[in-house]
Structure 1
Amino acid sequence: MTQSNQSSPFRLVGNVALVTGAAGGMGKAITAALLAAGATTVYGWDRIDAGSDGVVGTVVDLADTVKVEQVVGELDQVPQIVVNAAGLYANRDGFDVPTDAFVRTLNVNLVSAFVIQREIGRRLISTGAHGSFINISSVAGRHAFPNQPDYVASKAGLIGLTRAGALDLSPLITVNSIAPGTVATAMIDQVIADVAAQTGMPLDEQRKAFESSIPTQRMQTPEEIAAAVVFLASTAARSINGEVLNVDGGSTRD
């Protein structure tokens, strides 16, 4: 993290960032928040072009880990802030998940994050600069849910990668994770639709059931996850390392 001459410790002036899954609702909110906090450039990676004002978009399939390593090597600036926000989800009975589908989910959600952490970590440490790596996990990685074994395994693995990275990349780089709960994105719309199909509950009632299970009685917003990212990326969080921050309205209490 580049030290800023701004008075607020939450300013990210002078920093370059990389966000995976940048075309999704959460990824877009994160890139916007980083730019608003003063990041000079944000590299946005996704399967579709995430480029916009201030965001250098790169189309990359994160399941292709060889390609991920190649694209990291082509970056013309070394990011001080890395946010692995990409997430692949499907609702399927564990007995019906093909091996290749399981491996693809792990590659997108977990292995690509490891490759990025390794390659950018090497480059950043060689410059002697401070950095902040943030992995977007899920409460599903802390407490398993049915019919998504590949997603649960990948998000639990991302928490493990976070804790290992916090040891391996110290003292220059901090590595933390955010575990969102029920965030109002297209992914949660799909989750609700899948559960409604299984329970036979009307879609609007199923949505209300999700919301009523949250102590705050509402879903989180992508912007709230993005605000947590900005905090963890800032100098104010320099002593936070290897932690998992629940942003779930109080659903998880351990």
Structure 2
Amino acid sequence: MNLSLKGKTALVCGSTQGIGWASAVELALLGANVTLFARNEEKLKEAVEKLDTTQGQTHRYLVADFAQTEQVKAALDAYLVENPVVHILINNTGGPAGGPLIDAKPEEFTKTFAAHLINNQQLVQALVPAMKEAGYGRIVNIISTSVKQPIVGLGVSNTIRGAVAQWAKSLSLELGSFGITVNNVLPGYTRTARLESVLNMRAESSGKSKEEVVEQMQREIPTQRFVEPEEVAAAVAFLCTPAATSINGINVPVDGGKTGSL
């Protein structure tokens, strides 16, 4: 099975912590040159130095706030002048604050749509031409199991994540013949800063302790535990390899079996 990414370049969004960082680590271990893309330059500087270089990889970073779509585009355009070929794109952006959907303001949808789908679109438009020329491309979107089963209390996120999944499926139909695959990885309850905010929100709204909320949520998972970021990253990295050439246009839950649908 060919899992080598030596000679390939990967751009990983939201990559200084959580699933984004874990994905960058796995891609580097498979031999890829990795460019980290996030808003905190100090964290980026620290993170890029920790990536594996035993296969002669060269790692870089880009700075932009994904809440500012023009800033993202400007940073990418400048990067592509000197690094015109990116074979792998990992789209990963933090979700919006939770709360009842009925209370969400229109601007919450607009802001979240821009941070996720609009940024994804402009990144793809910039990178796909070189992927086509190379005859190799991997686009992996880290979304959420809410694509299959909406999560109570995350209405805005559920809505926009669903739109991203449809965007990705549509794109996979257009790009497959060029050797470019487009897939979605759907993390379940994963030990990240995002999960911590969900735990705190549920504890506050229910009047239960955080420990009680954790126990209740873990009981809902067949494996009886939260997912580790590295476990999600393993699925992300595999989809980027030559071994996954014929895996295209799918949603891959990494949730310990919690999602109730196939």
1:154 CA displacement: 1.6
Match of 2:35 in 1: 43
> Which deviates more from structure 2 when the two are superposed, residues 154-163 or residues 139-148?
139-148
3-state SS of the aligned residue for 1:92? coil
Map residues 95-244 of structure 1 onto 2, 5 A cutoff: 95-125=102-132, 127-171=133-177, 172-244=179-251
Contact 1:196 1:203 survives alignment (8 Å):
yes
Q: Residue 26 of structure 2 corresponds to which residue in structure 1? A: 33
TM-score scaled to structure 1, two decimals?
A: 0.91
Q: Measure, in 2, the Cα distance between the counterparts of 1:170 and 1:37.
A: 23
Asked if the contact 1:29–1:222 (Cα under 8 Å) also holds between the matched residues in 2, the reply is: yes
* Matches of 2:154 and 2:245, distance apart in 1: 34
Contact 2:109 2:160 in 1 (8 A): no
- Distance in 2 of aligned mates of 1:146 and 1:47: 29
Deviation at 1:143, TM superposition (A): 1.3
Q: Secondary structure at the match of 1:191?
A: helix
Where do 4+ consecutive residues of structure 1 move more than 4 Å?
none
Offset at residue 241 of structure 1 (A): 0.5
Q: What is the match of residue 66 of structure 2? A: 62
Q: How many residues are paired up?
A: 245
Pick which of 149-158 and 100-109 moved more: 100-109
CA contact (8 A) 1:89 1:187 kept: no
Matching residue's letter, 1:29: A
Q: Which runs of 5+ in 2 are unaligned?
A: 52-58
More helix by share: 2
Cα contact 2:147–2:161 (8 A) shared by 1: yes
Query: How many angstroms apart in 1 are the aligned matches of 2:113 and 2:27?
Result: 27
Displacement of 1:109 in angstroms is 2.3
Q: Which amino acid aligns with 1:58?
A: L
TM-score if structure 2 supplies the norm length? 0.88
Per-residue CA distance 1:150-209 (angstroms, 9 max, x = gap):
211121112111101101222221000101100011100110110111111110110111
Do 1:139 and 1:180's aligned partners in 2 also have CA atoms closer than 8 Å? Answer: yes
Counterpart amino acid of residue 85 in structure 1: N
Identity of aligned residues (%): 29
- 1:13 corresponds to 2:19: no
Whole-Å separation in 2 of the counterparts to 1:44 and 1:147: 31
CA RMSD of aligned residues (A): 1.5
CA distance in structure 2 between the partners assigned to 1:221 and 1:235 by the alignment: 25
Which residue does the alignment assign to 2:54? none
Q: CA deviation at 1:120?
A: 0.8
Worse overlay, 114-123 or 15-24? 114-123
Q: Does the 8 Å contact 2:221/2:258 carry over to 1?
A: yes
Match of 1:74 among 78, 82, 92: 78
- In the alignment, the residues of structure 2 paired with residue 15 and residue 144 of structure 1 have an alpha-carbon distance, to the nearest angstrom, of 35
The secondary structure found in structure 1 opposite 2:231 is helix
User: Structure 1 stretches of 5 or more lacking a match?
Assistant: 1-7
Mapped to 2, the partners of 1:90 and 1:155 lie a distance apart of 14
Q: Deviations over 1:9-65 (max 9, x none)?
A: 1121111000111122111111111111111x2111112122322542222111222
Q: Out of 171-180 and 88-97, give the one that drifted further.
A: 88-97
Find the aligned partners of 1:101 and 1:238 in 2 and give their Cα distance.
Answer: 37
Q: Read off the aligned partner of 1:141 and give its amino acid letter.
A: V
Q: Note the C-alpha offset of 1:147.
A: 2.6
> Secondary structure at 1:169's aligned position in 2?
helix
1:91-127 C-alpha deviation (Å, 9 max, x unpaired): 12223322222211122222211211122112322x2
